[in-house]
Amino acid sequence: MKVFKKIDEIRKYIKEQQKEGKTIGLVPTMGYLHEGHLSLIKKSSEENNITVVSIFVNPTQFGENEDLDQYPRDLERDVKLAEKANATAIFASEAEEIYPKGYQTYVNVKHLTKHLCGLRRPGHFKGVTTIVTKLFNIINPDKAYFGQKDAQQAIVIKRMVKDLNLDIEIVVCPIVRESDGLAKSSRNTYLSKEERNQSTVLFLSLMIAKQMIEDGERHAVVIKKSIEKNIKNESLAEIDYVSISNIETLKEIEVIKGEVLIALAVKIGNTRLIDNIQLEVNDVN
């Protein structure tokens, strides 16, 4: 398995592969790989000749008081895991290579980034869309793979690809969960034992919401209240947001109808966790 640190070197490698007619899949990550990432790598390796995993803890998507310095890093471990999942190459560069002195250009998706996590983490998505565009330009993939756990991120990236006419297929893969429902995340490593026990409240709350909808509830406000009540009763988590939105616009909805995203973000101790489910509700009146 090849590990590249320099942009010029990976570009040369990619060009050689493409000359031989090989297709390229890209799995962008911030490292500390877990089974969610590995499912993306496996999917890419099934669908492409070459799978490049990028590993870069992107400073521009972290706010001032966020966990940039604390974010877990272990390249040696990641290389082994990626190789086992059938990755062909790793692109693991340093911040100075990606954002050299004098850097001043950003990509911004205007409206979709104003909701959900965008409200709580100003500038976060601008950092994400900028690094993802840069990775797309460096790796020039046919397909790129993202996890459904970061639902808003996937929606924003799809919009960006469409708006900028990028010739890349975005593949969104299902959330991989622990046996008790907690969505896999590199940030789960921050949780103490007690916090880990409480963290199941995210998935369980989403399941309550799903059941309410299956039982006929259509008022978003009633479902949101029920989620909030469950989180408060079952944990010490601090609610960041509970959102029920239209999947295309990410605007909050009042009535459950069509394709709906139910998403939440909570802080358990110092760890901010997110989770979501998507549902399609087509009532025949």
Residues identified as active-site = 37
From 30, 40, 144, 209, residue interacting with ligand PAF (rule: CB under 6 A): 30
Q: Which is nearer to ligand PAF, 28 or 118 (CB)?
A: 28
Report CA-CA distances (Å) from 219 to 58, 133, 248: 39, 38, 19
Q: How far apart are CA 241 and CA 49, in angstroms?
A: 41
Interaction of residue 275 with ligand PAF, rule CB under 6 A? no
Q: How far apart are CA 211 and CA 217, in angstroms?
A: 9
Under a CB-based contact definition with an 8 Å cutoff, are residues 243 and 115 in contact? Answer: yes
Q: Which is nearer to ligand PAF, 30 or 263 (CB)?
A: 30
Q: How far apart are CA 215 and CA 143, in angstroms?
A: 39
Residue with tokens 């880990």: 196
Interaction of residue 33 with ligand PAF, rule CB under 6 A? no
Q: Which is nearer to ligand PAF, 72 or 258 (CB)?
A: 72
The minimum distance between CB 258 and ligand PAF, in angstroms, equals 26
From 81, 82, 131, 231, residue interacting with ligand PAF (rule: CB under 6 A): 131
Could you tell me which residues come within 8 angstroms of residue 26 by beta carbon, excluding any fewer than 6 positions away? Answer: 44, 51, 52, 54, 135, 136, 139, 141, 143, 144, 145
Interaction of residue 25 with ligand PAF, rule CB under 6 A? no
From 44, 45, 48, 58, residue interacting with ligand PAF (rule: CB under 6 A): 58
Q: How far apart are CA 279 and CA 122, in angstroms?
A: 27
Interaction of residue 265 with ligand PAF, rule CB under 6 A? no
Q: Which is nearer to ligand PAF, 61 or 245 (CB)?
A: 61
The window from 72-80, 127-135, 201-209, 213-221 that contacts ligand PAF (CB under 6 A) reads 127-135
**Footprint on residues 184-223 left by ligand PAF (CB under 6 A):** none
Q: How far apart are CA 263 and CA 271, in angstroms?
A: 17
The window from 43-51, 73-81, 125-133, 210-218 that contacts ligand PAF (CB under 6 A) reads 125-133
Interaction of residue 93 with ligand PAF, rule CB under 6 A? no
Under a CB-based contact definition with an 8 Å cutoff, are residues 92 and 56 in contact? Answer: yes
β-sheet bridge partners, residue 172:
146
User: Mask: binding to ligand PAF, 153-172, rule CB under 6 A, as x and -?
Assistant: x-------------------
With contacts defined by CB under 6 A, how many residues of the chain interact with ligand PAF?
10
From 132, 176, 223, 237, residue interacting with ligand PAF (rule: CB under 6 A): 132
Burial 120-131 (b: 16+ CB within 10 A, else e): ebebbbbbbbbb
Provide the token pair at 16.
Answer: 């050689």
Q: Which is nearer to ligand PAF, 25 or 28 (CB)?
A: 28
Which residues form the interface with ligand PAF (CB under 6 A)? Answer: 28-30, 58, 61, 128, 131-132, 150, 153
